Amino acid sequence: MHHVYIEDIADYDGQEVTIKGWLYNKRSSGKVQFHIIRDGTGIIQGVIAPNAIGQELYQKCDRLPQESSVILSGRVRADERAPGGYELDVTQYEIIHEADEYPITPKEHGTAFLMDHRHLWLRSSKQQAIIRVRSEVVKACRDFYDERGFVLVDAPIFTPAACEGTSTLFETEYFDTKAYLTQSGQLYMEAGAMAFGKVYCFGPTFRAEKSKTRRHLTEFWMIEPEVAYLDLEGDMRLAEEMIVYIVQRVLERRHKELKTMERDTAPLEKVVPPFPRIRYDEAVAQLVKDGLDVKWGDDFGGDEETVLSQQFDKPLIVHRFPKAIKAFYMKTDPEDGRLALGMDVLAPEGYGEIVGGGQREDDLKVLGDKIEQHHLPVEAFQWYLDLRRYGTVPHSGFGLGVERTVAWICGIPHIRETVPFPRLMHRLYP
């Protein structure tokens, strides 16, 4: 019989089909059994009568543990009361594997337990919805740049030096020398932008984050565009356009998943241009007004970001930070030497920073001095300085953190559920 995926079941009303999946749940009325089957694309209820499959198999089915793998065939019948709108009147039932007693029973479990069983937890409907949204977000990012003529330039994972400060570097042996896991593909994207004009990379990045917050992973994925001849204002527009594109895409194509997660989509529908833009100075004034203990020159943490982003119902762009709190590569504001031409995008609903970026320092001398001031090994940056020796131009880019973006879009409090197998300070298993 014809194998179909449950998500396509509506095309087969009245026909005989085969479903290959796992037993999700079951109940019995005495006369018949109802087995809820999942196959990764959806769930469907199979109605099983003893005379349809034989008494012996019927008894076996009655004792079958959750998550046993099964193949069943039967006729598709529309039923308004059924979870997916259809039921299957089962004519054949094949048990592929009788599972051990499944540890994730429908009762409530703590996060530590669920995270220890992440490889199984991924089978639950909410986790599937999150990972499907993630998959859509990644696709949307790629489509956004591909449609605009950007070239995908993959950045290396092993690197000779720090990009985002030495305090969060993962060091690893590399034959007879040391290497570091990349914190950001940015520096390589700058080389790419000088070669191709506009480029992006998408890959895993690593930070030895000792902070245990709901926004930090040690391994996370970033999408990083970089554009030659783009200034800070253009960079902010690009980030705005991209975020709108991603949110619209998820609203269009992942409505079902958002519903599974009980995500209120009204706040997401408000994500349209223009986003509010405020300078760092204004942000500090606002925070002080809200009673936070912040002074000019402080970096914002999660609390400050939450307070700022809650003032608006769209993503908020904060720009022109004190250069002392920003990375060595940021260009100094020509209008105020205390400031760097950086920008962050803070997601609404208290989600905090999802994008960091800005205009890059393009002057050889200034950049060389900054590398020294930041106590970075200048030899390891000679290739990067070459980009300022051979045809330097104003250029900008940013990085969007995939997990934080997915957490916001899904409306879930902790980013550990937005990645299939999260890596945190105290989690390396499974």
The residues that touch ligand 4AD, with contacts defined as CB under 6 A, are 163-164, 184, 186, 207, 209, 216-217, 220, 222, 224, 353-357, 397-399, 401, 403-404
- State which residue has the least CB distance to Mg ion: 356
* Between 315 and 357, CB nearer to ligand 4AD: 357
* Between 136 and 403, CB nearer to ligand 4AD: 403
CB contact at 8 A, 39 and 21 = yes
Nearest distance from residue 174's CB to ligand 4AD, in Å? 22
Q: Which does 217 bind (CB under 5 to 8 A by kind): ligand 4AD, Mg ion, none?
A: ligand 4AD
**Residue 138 to residues 90, 186, 216, 319, 419: CA-CA distances in angstroms?**
38, 18, 19, 26, 12
DSSP classification of residue 335: T
> Taking contact as CB under 5 A, which single stretch among the options 26-34, 104-112, 171-179, 356-364 is the one that binds Mg ion?
356-364
What's the CA gap between 58 and 90, in Å, rounded?
A: 11
* Between 35 and 416, CB nearer to ligand 4AD: 416
* Between 207 and 323, CB nearer to ligand 4AD: 207
CB contact at 8 A, 155 and 185 = yes
Nearest distance from residue 331's CB to Mg ion, in Å? 16
Q: Which does 332 bind (CB under 5 to 8 A by kind): ligand 4AD, Mg ion, none?
A: none
* Between 73 and 184, CB nearer to ligand 4AD: 184
Nearest distance from residue 316's CB to ligand 4AD, in Å? 13
What's the CA gap between 110 and 75, in Å, rounded?
A: 40
Kindly state the number of chain residues that form the binding site for Mg ion, as judged by CB under 5 A: 1
**String of DSSP letters for 127-189:** HHHHHHHHHHHHHHHHHHHHHTTPEE-PPPSEESS-SS-GGGPPEEEETTEEEEE-S-SHHHH
Q: Which does 354 bind (CB under 5 to 8 A by kind): ligand 4AD, Mg ion, none?
A: ligand 4AD
Nearest distance from residue 173's CB to ligand 4AD, in Å? 23
> Is 42 near Mg ion (CB under 5 A)?
no
Nearest CA among 232, 199, 204 for reference residue 218: 204
* Between 354 and 367, CB nearer to Mg ion: 354
- Region for residue 165 given its phi and psi (left: phi exceeds 0; alpha: psi -120 to 50; beta: otherwise): left
What's the CA gap between 264 and 270, in Å, rounded?
A: 12
What's the CA gap between 139 and 223, in Å, rounded?
A: 11
* Between 67 and 209, CB nearer to ligand 4AD: 209
> Is 356 near Mg ion (CB under 5 A)?
yes
Query: What is the residue type of 270?
Result: K
Q: Which does 422 bind (CB under 5 to 8 A by kind): Mg ion, ligand 4AD, none?
A: none
- The site string for Mg ion over 314-353 (x = CB under 5 A, - otherwise) reads ----------------------------------------
Q: Which residue is it, tokens 């970096």?
A: 299
Nearest distance from residue 201's CB to Mg ion, in Å? 17
For strands 316-322 and 277-279, give the pairing: parallel
Q: How many helices (H) and strands (E) does the chain have?
A: 14, 16
Query: What is the residue type of 57?
Result: L
Phi, psi of 253 (to 5 degrees): -105, -15
> Is 357 near Mg ion (CB under 5 A)?
no
* Between 97 and 374, CB nearer to ligand 4AD: 374
Q: Which does 240 bind (CB under 5 to 8 A by kind): Mg ion, ligand 4AD, none?
A: none
Interface with Mg ion by CB under 5 A: which residues?
356
